[in-house]
Structure 1
């Protein structure tokens, strides 16, 4: 989910008061009332001994008889919070707590916020592996690249529950959904779009990978030190792999030079890196997804004045908000209803296509569902369920 730093537009005292009044925005709700000794005996001792002995013999039954079968762990180290940077594990806690609330309110999914110190990748993975029996899945959040890639890869190898990094997979899913419909608006096959992607961090790498997997092979990537090339010594191997996988190996001296005659700009970077002149230099009917928060790569008014055909941001202030909240609640609702243990590219594509089909007639101002549109969670969860059925 894109996190907007808009506290200055809110009543700060009201925000602080609301969170302090309840010690956060979450609570634990019991599923069984204890009103007698008999109730206590069923919920706790001696009744639980029956369940404990059964699970000892058949460990998989913990998912049926305990909370572990429906509980998602929301895990962060607070090292890369969008718009805030490295604010540490404690600083990241309100973010994952808020997302846990979204899970519950929008999808009925139980999630619990967990923070881990900024330890080594292996220690981080070992920590989660050692607590994995308590959960039905891991949702990783706000972990800096490239360690987030390593953590996800290694964790998937040692646990048998889904592992999902929202900054990666969630962003990629919603960007692909937006592009599918943006291509319809301008009347071009989506696979023919020529893309420049600026910002090859966690979300950028995952987005580029998914677009390439979907057949959008003409992709040029930039990051803070300029263009990312297959042999760039100043970029990590995850970033270099994106450049190597693209069919376009041209080199450019600048972002502006790369944008000439290109169909799409995707920004997952920083404010004000794109100009109106850049947009004018792009191909006819350019598509701009300026997703930096709290301020996009270009002001939408400037982009429209320059002739943009389809404009999207990560902000709720403008049409076409590309927001991870469209993906993650329904995704885990679907995962918990199936026996899928992996979030792979095939599943991400299926969800993106499902989100895109929610807009029957895409327009320049409506290429993606709104956060509060009816049916978003149900559409995504059903896509997951259908995909799982096909895999079986």
Structure 2
């Protein structure tokens, strides 16, 4: 939790502050400057760091060490699975006729851009891609999913939890359905790590993506879970690192930091309960003290830290900037002031109107958020909303769509 003077951070779904355990470990990790692939003394300590981190990460998500592939983050992991599997089915030798027929891919309509754009790339290469709809509650259209899944489906990619609304998806159930058709299943679990317990073997997925900076580690390091026997072509060709699944000299510093935070997973249930109490308290106050506010997907299973608010008649970007001036960091799906007039694709895919999406604000708390900070934020939000609504009544809408 970053707090300097009056500055409070409520944007943990965008990134998290580096925890003190990692900060304390960084100087020692930085001393291991050798190449892990070197067989002389310079490579031994870095190699040990990678080995220890791989074990910690595997234990944290219920996997084996051979199923962990270190990457630069979630976007690379997502692209590796989607593009790598497509390439594998196109070029690998000794594939069965059934595998070669699998040219169909599916993902939800509310995925992270790293998944959506990767799927669109496959579509440009000739693959058939279906985007699974969701309803206004953020729930997946299971009827669409089951009716479009077939023996030609190669991969289904559905996120564990949505980054904007916090909505949780029925990953285990969807993976079981995919496997009955012989399809593989990938989940972008970037937002889940550190907020809910994750056991990949119990979930039954074939691939999963993670990013360290969403769980109090440094940016530029993440990992891909690839279930034993799940093949794909390497996205980055190089010297054969990561068992030929991801080329390039490993980011020892970032991977070592991942290992440090992975050992904190035992705290997740306690922290999740703590965040849920704060989030529910915040939402209760906002709903009772500010008029015309709705919680997007508020009745659906959600991450304990995430709240997506629609404040009628108030532009989200303007709220963000006003709160920023007061020292509160939040996020929004709208992009009025950045030159992009389009509101959040996720909220539109859920069925919100353009106006509702433009009037949205995302608040995501963290492990170190306090009740005092939440109460102060609500007071600040009340002032900002009252002022902006007053200005709108006097001058009209200030954000033209």
Global fold match (TM > 0.5): no
TM-score of the superposed pair, with normalisation by structure 1: 0.27
Higher RCO structure, 1 or 2 (CA under 8 Å, sep 6+): 2
TM-score of the superposed pair, with normalisation by structure 2: 0.27
